[in-house]
Amino acid sequence: MDGVNKELQAEKKALRSKILAARRELKEAYRQKASQRMIDVFCALPDFKAPKTVLCYASMADEVQLKPLVERFLAAGVTVAMPHVIGKGQMEAVTLASLDNLVEGEYGILTPDLAKGKVVPPEQLDLIIVPGVAFDTRGERLGMGAGFYDAYIAQAVNAKRVALAYSCQLVADVPMEEHDVLVHKIITEQGIYNCLL
């Protein structure tokens, strides 16, 4: 690892620690209220009504709570897929007919039961709800560092990428590498950011 890359990794690590700490400090009631607000705003946009196939994720306790959004997609007849880890830095999208079909997977994260779903090719996705630790208003994103989403999104060439994030996750500048993928839109409890790609 050269000096520049080492410095960038250190920057990312420091920012990740700072934002994760801020996100963990949010009160549970605030998380619930803010999550519901973001989902209501998102569901009023054409981005919610347009997709036929969407990749979502099962939220961890301190993330924006997406369960109501998944339920709305399913009720609207949208094909919902969630990530399933298949190897180091690799994932696939597996369909989810019901939230009851989630099982514990890698890193203690809920994942679709493979016996009850099927793999969706990345190019079939219309929309990806992208998780992240930090974002800036240009759409630059800092993930958890394993590279699952960057590698996968690069193959999902037809998908619009939207992030729902708490306002404490918005920063002035996200340190980026060549392989890091941007998002098209960020929705926080305080506003919508259409990012310039």
User: Could you read off the pLDDT of 92-147 as tens digits, one per residue?
Assistant: 999 999 999 999 887 778 889 988 999 999 999 999 999 999 999 999 999 988 88
Q: Residue 3 above 70 pLDDT?
A: no
Domain range summary for the chain, segments of one domain joined by +: 3-194
Under CATH, which architecture does the 3-194 domain have? 3-Layer(aba) Sandwich (3.40)
Binding-site residue ranges for substrate: 63
- Rounded to 5°, angle at Cα 145 from 143 and 151: 80
* Number of other CB atoms surrounding residue 105 within 10 Å: 18
Binding-site residue ranges: 12-16, 63, 141-149
Single pTM value for the model: 0.94
φ, ψ dihedrals at 114, nearest 5°:
-60, -30
Binding-site residue ranges for ATP: 12-16, 141-149
